[in-house]
Structure 1
Amino acid sequence: MSDIPSNGREIHYKPPGPVGRDFIKSDAFVAGIMGPIGSGKSVCCVMKLVRNLQKQKRQKDGWIRRRTAIIRNTYPELKTTTIKTWHQWIPASYGNYRESGPPTHHIVDAGQKIDWELIFIALDRPDDVRKLLSLELSDAWINEAREVPKAILDGLTGRVGRFPRREEGGCTDPQIMLDTNPPDSDHWWYRLAEEPTPEDVETVAELEQQLRDVGSLRADQPLFQWFRQPGGRSPNAENLQNLDPGYYLKACANKKPEWIRVYVDGEYGFVLDGKPVYPEYRDSVHCKTFEANSRLFLHIGMDFGLTPAAVFGQQMPNGQWRKRTEIVTDNMGIVRFAELVKTHLAQQYPTFKIGSITGDPAGNARGADERTVFDILAAAGLRANPARTNDPTLRIEATRTPMTRLIDGEPGMIIHPDCRFLRKGYAGGYNYKRVQVGGDEKYRDVPDKNIYSHVCDADQYLMIGAGEGKAIVKREPVANRPSFAITDYQTDF
């Protein structure tokens, strides 16, 4: 891609390398690209959206119309990174950019007969998420997908391709594109891109054939396609022409091997990024093998939303807490989740008595059918109660305090090795996000929402429901701080 005129200046773009080029050209319904920092992934997505606009069929009146959603996990990151990258290539002065509400960029170019509406969505704003899952879209871009629940990807598969409507000419090549730095190997991206089950492979192949039979996919068009850029120190590293010499070597300075492995070499891995909520946790100390005791009450904590989770634990007679199993989901409604919990109880704890089932108080909100989450759980035979507080400070302290006790020579809280997500959350995956304030490095006041936060929230509800935290003096809640021609260029790849 080259020669994009913008307000009197020329912007030249060429793909960062062969992988970036192939990603931009991909017509897969879901196309994802993963690579190290500085590899040009986000700009590839910008250019891919432009390419999709170029491919869109004109309607009877000669106009091209398209509606796009651009998604990031939090509004600060949406504003400071995603939108900033977008405006480096598609200036706010081209069309009408509005920052209020969910930010929108509406481009109407009468000369070229283009009407393109772009909606920027942050997942930390519930109203925006509800809007996203009701939009009729042409395509969507999930920026830094490792920080986004799979439920968002799943929901988008039913939202793209809905605009323009079929009677208006339809949408040409609806698509969901994703970019990311490498996530942990427990992440849904890894499972989809690297280790799909034989059943998943067979299902996708059957779906592709059915879609080709009805004319929804071309013979050479896949349903899913995943691209992986070489590491930054590889001889085949991409985007080096746009980076300072030694960029990746400098990036390695004073970094831990795990950080270098993920952000520089582009390998899957777990990196502590942010300030841990539980700095006292040591996996070598707090992770031990044990069996649950059927003579003691079983306590359950649940977090709800798009990615419900549950933790199952017991308190020993000496006061020690033991977390035995967990349930972590990607995208599941509360009815299916309730059945999964019941199956888990039947398989893992068939003779145990339930001491408490405690969930997120937000589950008291009534849905379209006037039922709450707790109503649905009760109908499934799970009599859960809302936690008595949803103050994150109190919840965290109720969980941290037992961990710092020493009981009969052992920590006051241990986690079984089977609880992989809970352990990684305690080890730093559950953290306060780093932010820059006036040039100083600070951290947000509430834990970041990610794949580890849901199971850690469930763990806190377990502790609150089982009686921990009653002696903590309630403190005041901490406040949150939280002239351009698009089609006038040719592809040169």
Structure 2
Amino acid sequence: MAEEVEFEPLVSPSDYVPSPTVREFMTCVINGPVDEMRLLVLRGPRGCGKTLSGLMSCIAHAERIRDLGVPLPLRVGVVRDTYENLRRTTLVSFEEQKMRGVPIQFIAANHEAIVGPAESPSVHFWFFGLDRPDDADKLQGFQCGVLWLEEVAPAAGIASGIPASVLGIGATSVRQASVPPRILVTMNPPDKNHWILKVEDHLAEAGLTHVKVRHFTMDATEKSAHFLAMAELVAQDGDVTGAEGWRAAARAHDRYTERNRAFLASVGRLDLVERLVEGHIGEVRLGAAVVPNFSRSLHVAKRPLQILRGVEIVRGWDCGLNDLHPAVCWLQVGADWINVLGSRVGTNLSFEEFIRQEVWPFERKYRLLKARAGSGFGAGLRGGFTFRNIADPAAFAGDGRGSARTAALVIENLLHESVEPGPVEWAARREALYAAFERKGAGDRMLVQIDPEENEILIDGLAGRFHYPEQKATGEIMAEISGAKRVSGIFSHPVDALAYPLSILFPAHEYFLTAMRARAPSGPERKAASWLGT
């Protein structure tokens, strides 16, 4: 991407002074070759001025193309998950800037807006609310110079976000003649699994490898620091009143930030404090975690786990037949330790496709080869590993594609191994998970240790992405497995794949009985009650 600065950001009104990150963002918007498409992501905490930055960037872009002799107006498509969210957030920001002097006019029943006089506007905005993912076809046939995606990431139930498919569809609309094509994304920090953090991969899938991508991040202190810097600047010019105005703005923003932090913390949403207040990429936490005693610091190994030769490898299987998200995890276990070596989840794969595309590559990567039979009478197995398969009972019911073949039969045919069913009852699996993550192992380790590099979705699921839903009206947790799987999506499957072998190898009732026996007496020893001393 070209780094040279050919134009300074020029905007109206003239008193808008962008913060350092926003200035860098705006400069990148207006620079570069005419035929170079750029996707520019501006990320920061709530209230830091991202929408204003997008608006002013579009105005600055229009100023630039006007100087290049390109006919105005610049056409901008503004996209958000729903029109209602556009109306109560983005359009409110536009209205605020109109009151501050930006010549904005709303037209077409507030579904469009222009900057400048009606007969010769410099920018024309169209607002698209995508109430359902397939509403992205509203963008088809639309032509613009800038596609602006507002808040692509959901704020944990406050909004639903924008699906990745909109990027591919919307990008085809960015074709206004002679205008350097731009895709702008202004957003709060997303969940760490959100598609925008892998936007380069999504562009490649859409055949848009020529698009240049750059990310800009505003931290939680930038806005206040910028206001205080402006106060010092105008004070040096002798403008005491102006300096105090900037300081007051800094204090007001700090109070706004502290209120947000206090409100979100008071309702237990520390995940939203991290993302919406501190401005960090984080994890969305909703409802109640299915495995509440899981801890990243205690249960995720600090370095990759060693695969122990001569120790059986246990595969746990969740067939995912209802939604075509099969999952598997690989374990090695001892009397007082469980090592989760890896896990995989398929997406829209039959069970056979899953084994071929996910299971075999993992086992080849780590040379998890089957032991060979020795030659000669009485010879045992040599080299490699022995395997044990413990599966979802649904493995014996069908492969999910209407075929008479069961998942268990697929395992037997492709892996040449037998399969044993895990428990049908969710209570047995739930309690096995809880007991396993509660137990101590040898020394200072917990019983369960998970490889940090080969279990991303499993770890996220254990950390709360696999959760029971919350009744929004009452705050009541609906602790049913069907509801948890419905709202948790792909994150439920590797956890369930782990639960099946745990419930067979380390059943919860045995752990709790052992713990009861080992419990020390709670009072003094009872004295003999009979004259015989017995």
TM-score of the two chains, using structure 1 as the length reference: 0.54
Q: Which runs of 5+ in 2 are unaligned?
A: 1-10, 31-36, 67-71, 96-104, 229-245, 371-385, 509-534
1:426 corresponds to which letter in structure 2?
Answer: L
CA root-mean-square deviation = 6.5
Write out aligned runs for 1:15-414 (5 A).
17-24=19-26, 26=29, 29-45=38-54, 69-71=79-81, 83-89=87-93, 94-95=107-108, 105=111, 116=126, 118-121=128-131, 128-132=132-136, 136=140, 139=147, 141=149, 143-145=151-153, 152-153=163-164, 155-163=165-173, 172-182=179-189, 223-232=212-221, 235-236=225-226, 240=249, 243-244=252-253, 246-251=255-260, 263-267=276-280, 275-283=288-296, 285-287=298-300, 291=307, 295-301=312-318, 310-314=327-331, 316=333, 322-327=339-344, 338-348=356-366, 349-351=368-370, 353=387, 355=389, 364=400, 397=430, 400-403=433-436, 414=449
d(CA) in 1 for partners of 2:114, 2:260: 41
- Does structure 2 retain, via aligned residues, the 8 Å contact 1:286–1:411? yes
Over residues 408-439 of structure 1, what are the superposed CA-to-partner deviations in whole Å (9 max), with x where a residue is unaligned?
Answer: 889775533443553344234555678964xx
Over residues 100-125 of structure 1, what are the superposed CA-to-partner deviations in whole Å (9 max), with x where a residue is unaligned?
Answer: xxxxx57899x76979461324xxxx
- Does structure 2 retain, via aligned residues, the 8 Å contact 1:182–1:269? yes
TM-superposed CA distance for 1:159, in Å, is 1.7
Q: 1:321 to 1:441 in 2, by over 3 A?
A: same
- Does structure 2 retain, via aligned residues, the 8 Å contact 1:134–1:159? no
TM-superposed CA distance for 1:242, in Å, is 9.9
Moved more, 184-193 or 29-38: 184-193
d(CA) in 1 for partners of 2:63, 2:361: 50
- Does structure 1 retain, via aligned residues, the 8 Å contact 2:344–2:494? no
1:350 corresponds to which letter in structure 2?
Answer: L
TM-superposed CA distance for 1:447, in Å, is 5.6
d(CA) in 2 for partners of 1:37, 1:29: 24
Q: Which runs of 5+ in 1 are unaligned?
A: 4-11, 72-77, 98-104, 122-127, 197-202, 212-221, 473-493
- Higher relative contact order (Cα pairs below 8 Å, separated by 6+ residues): 1
- Does structure 2 retain, via aligned residues, the 8 Å contact 1:68–1:137? no
TM-superposed CA distance for 1:33, in Å, is 1.1
- Count residues with an aligned counterpart: 401
Identity of aligned residues (%): 14
Higher strand share: 1
1:312 corresponds to which letter in structure 2?
Answer: C
TM-score of the two chains, using structure 2 as the length reference: 0.51
d(CA) in 1 for partners of 2:316, 2:218: 45
1:325 corresponds to which letter in structure 2?
Answer: G
- Does structure 1 retain, via aligned residues, the 8 Å contact 2:191–2:282? yes
- Does structure 1 retain, via aligned residues, the 8 Å contact 2:326–2:349? no
Which SS does the other structure have where 1:37 is aligned? Answer: coil
d(CA) in 2 for partners of 1:88, 1:454: 36
Q: 1:405 to 1:244 in 2, by over 3 A?
A: closer
